[in-house]
């Protein structure tokens, strides 16, 4: 049926379009449900319209069958009254209505089939939306965990970069220490060998004059002058 195909195409195109541009899964889920609920409103309206058509076809068929039965009863009454011509006219109208009944029954069968299909599609869409609604919280929870994990991964990458910086700092410190050691070694070499003899002779040089001895000597000299 055309209406069923049309709505299936609408729902399919909505879902496929969202999947094609699903940059943000959370927004996509919300938009998908909004679209499906919009489709559900359209399906409800079409279902109601098709049910009305089925009920109208059923009512027309029942009215035709009632007229057939009525013509049958009138034909019987006409014969009972001895009016064969009238009975014949009632039976002719009955035959015409019977032919009409076949077409009305076919129309009702089609309308009934359409109504059943629309009800099934409506019920399936309602069920799918309810399932998606119940899964939305779960999916958003998973997405939240995924985003947290992504932040942790970014922090982990930053820590790795810090470790690289620390490693580079350690290498620079080693270079500085090595340069300082080399400078100290060069200064040591530039001083040349020390003169041990100078230190040794100073040990035996009597350069320290005893003040008391010198004072006693001066006193002795003055005494001799007298």
Coil, helix or strand at residue 205:
coil
pLDDT of residue 81: 92
Q: Residue 11: count other Cβ atoms within 10 Å of its Cβ.
A: 20
Per the CB < 8 A criterion, the answer to whether 44 and 122 are in contact is yes
Inter-helix orientation angle 25-80/2-20, to 10°? 180
Q: Which pLDDT score is estimated for 160?
A: 58
Which pTM does this prediction carry?
Answer: 0.49
Angular region, 57: left φ>0, alpha ψ -120 to 50, beta rest: alpha
Q: What is the pLDDT of residue 100?
A: 94
DSSP sequence for 58-123: HHHHHHHHHHHHHHHHHHHHHHHTT-HHHHHHHHHHHHHHHHHHHHHHHHHHHHHHHHHHHHHHHH
Which of 11, 12, 8, 4 is closest to 36 using CA atoms?
A: 11
Question: Can you state the percent helix, strand and coil of the chain, rounding each to 5?
Answer: 90, 0, 10
User: For position 1, what pLDDT does the model report?
Assistant: 45
- CA dist., res. 73 & res. 13, Å (int): 57
Distance between CA 123 and CA 63 in Å, rounded? 31
Walk along the chain (226 residues) and give the pLDDT tens digit of each residue. 455 555 555 555 555 555 555 566 777 777 888 888 888 888 888 889 899 999 999 999 999 999 999 999 999 999 999 999 999 999 999 999 999 999 999 999 999 999 998 888 888 888 888 888 877 777 777 767 767 777 777 766 665 565 666 676 677 777 777 877 777 777 766 665 655 666 666 666 655 556 777 777 777 777 777 6
Contacts 24+ apart (CB under 8 A), 18-25: 25/139, 25/143
């Amino acid at each position: 049926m055309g209406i069923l195909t049309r709505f299936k195409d609408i729902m399919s195109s909505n879902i496929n379009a969202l999947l094609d541009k699903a940059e943000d899964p959370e927004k996509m889920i919300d938009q998908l449900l909004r679209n499906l609920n919009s489709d559900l409103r359209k399906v409800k309206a079409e279902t109601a319209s098709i049910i009305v058509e089925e009920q109208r076809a059923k009512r027309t068929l029942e009215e035709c069958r009632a007229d057939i039965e009525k013509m049958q009863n009138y034909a019987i009454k006409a014969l009972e009254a001895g009016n064969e011509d009238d009975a014949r006219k009632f039976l002719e109208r009955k035959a015409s209505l019977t032919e009409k009944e076949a077409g009305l029954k076919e129309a009702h069968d089609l309308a009934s089939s359409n109504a059943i299909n629309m009800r099934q599609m409506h019920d399936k869409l309602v069920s799918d939306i309810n399932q998606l609604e119940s899964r939305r919280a779960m999916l958003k929870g998973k997405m939240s965990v995924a985003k947290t994990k992504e932040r942790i991964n970014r922090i982990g990458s930053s820590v790795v970069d810090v470790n690289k910086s620390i490693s580079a700092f350690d290498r620079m410190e080693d270079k500085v220490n090595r340069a300082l050691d080399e400078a100290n070694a060069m200064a040591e070499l530039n001083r040349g060998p020390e003169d041990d003899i100078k230190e040794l002779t100073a040990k035996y040089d009597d350069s320290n004059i005893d003040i008391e001895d010198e004072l006693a000597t001066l006193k002795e000299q003055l005494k001799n002058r007298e």
